[in-house]
Amino acid sequence: MFQKILIANRGEIALRVLRACKELGIQTVVVHSTADADAMHVRLADESVCIGPPPSRDSYLNIHQIVAACEITGADAVHPGYGFLSENAKFADILAAHNITFIGPSGDHIRIMGDKIEAKRTAKRLGIPVVPGSDGAVTDEKEAKRIAAEIGYPVIIKASAGGGGRGMKVALTEADLEIALQTARTEAGAAFGDDAVYIEKYLQKPRHIEVQVFGDGFGRGVHFGERDCSLQRRHQKVWEEANSPALNAEERSRIGGICAKAIADLGYSGAGTIEFLYENGEFYFIEMNTRLQVEHPVTEAITGIDLVHEQIRVASGGGLSVRQEDIKFNGHAIECRINAEDPRTFTPSPGTITHFHTPGGLGIRVDSGVYSGYKIPPYYDSLIGKLIVHGRNRVECMMRLRRALDEFVVDGIKTTLPLFRDLVGNADIANGDYDIHWLEKYLAKEE
């Protein structure tokens, strides 16, 4: 087992990882920018190293500084959290070259999944169902038209190097295709420095369902069921739940089994998430994330398994603490992402939190690094906390969520809490009847 882990992140996820390290008796080092000197994870860590000024590229993305911090403190492993360097293959390779363990998969696996064309090709080879579309990059218009006619309109053109919901264009008919192809390529080139794009069928009313997987480092793979993250705004997840209201146990075990086998065949090590669109009973792979997800706590709530403990065990060569047959799904869990944003316009609302009171009681978990008197710096993303609620079934979970949202107090800044108080009373949400476009339509109506 590791002696000392360096946490290369900030905010709620830095605290989340720190808690897991403490429970395992592992010393912790955190790195932080000058803007985060007062952060909770900095206060609670055994050691902290200031690695630079506020802009992420000078601090949380500065590989040299982070490697230097490992060497100064003698850390033997790095947990990257999510975002920042968590899916940076070069970072994983550099750490390996310094004999420091990256708590995540190999650089090569990060590289494959970071290139969407390569990821889709790999998924297909491993027997994972994918969205019908081009086999690889599409360059000329004639070829694009031929493929689109074959799969049928509407189609979506996506950047191979895309991420964060950027670099996608929909063509409803053949007349739109030429311009969609051109703009997608130009935008991808400008945004990602790589203009490779591919075409796939545009699904009109899918749900976003993702499977949590783990490779144990010894060639075995398991799945921890799925999460439904269909409630999105601008392709950003807002509310996540496990299990999906749309799946039954048989579908769960079928898609979970396919994913676990694929992970084993790939020789993957650590945590990963295989993301699908789900429509009319069919799953369509869209991408794989090679890291811990923001929404991992809903899976923890229904399985009772600490996924960060498992990541650390696997990275240290100790394998998983559970086999597939030990992973059972109990009840229902929902996570609300609480952002420091105006709940109507979603513009960021940094500033000082004058009062912070979190709900408690059975089945309630709040993952947050903020506190009364904390000043939210304007440099980073606006997530300030996550409310995760567990109940014996979805109805109990929703009742408890409504009560927890009533108790939650964040004064001094605007947050997205009022949005969740509205959603929890909505009939479609109560029925679990929503697709990936539901929230945008709901927000447009409310305006």
Using CB under 6 A, list all residues that contact ligand ADP.
Answer: 131, 156, 162-166, 200-203, 206, 208, 235, 275, 277, 286-287, 436
Least distance between ligand ADP and beta carbon 342 (Å): 23
Pick between residue 165 and residue 360 the one whose CB is nearest to ligand ADP. 165
Please say which residue, 94 or 238, places its beta carbon nearer to ligand ADP. Answer: 238
392 part of the active site? no
Tell me how far, at minimum, the Cβ of 226 lies from ligand ADP, in Å.
14
Least Å distance between CB 202 and ligand ADP?
Answer: 4
Nearest approach, Cβ of 383 to ligand ADP (angstroms)?
A: 16
16, 291, 337, 365: the catalytic one is 291
Query: Nearer to ligand ADP by C-beta: 133 or 385?
Result: 133
For ligand ADP, which is the closer residue by CB, 275 or 396? 275
Q: In the bound complex, what is the minimum distance in angstroms from residue 275's beta carbon to ligand ADP?
A: 6
Q: Which is nearer to ligand ADP, 138 or 286 (CB)?
A: 286
Residue 77 vs 277, nearer CB to ligand ADP: 277
- Give least dist CB 168 to ligand ADP, A: 6
Q: What is the 3-state secondary structure (H, E, C) of the chain?
A: CCCEEEECCCHHHHHHHHHHHHHCCCEEEEEEEHHHCCCHHHHHCCEEEEEECCCHHHCCCCHHHHHHHHHHHCCCEEECCCCCCCCCHHHHHHHHHCCCEECCCCHHHHHHHHCHHHHHHHHHHCCCCECCECCCCCCCHHHHHHHHHHHCCCEEEEECCCCCCCCEEEECCHHHHHHHHHHHHHHHHHHHCCCCEEEEECCCCCEEEEEEEEEECCCCEEEEEEEEEEEEECCEEEEEEECCCCCCHHHHHHHHHHHHHHHHHHCCEEEEEEEEEEECCEEEEEEEECCCCCCHHHHHHHHCCCHHHHHHHHHCCCCCCCCHHHCCCCCEEEEEEEECECCCCCCECCEECCEEECCCCCCEEEECCCCCCCEECCCCCCEEEEEEEEECCHHHHHHHHHHHHHHCEEECCCCCHHHHHHHCCCHHHHHCCCCCCHHHHHHHHHC
Catalytic residue numbers read 291
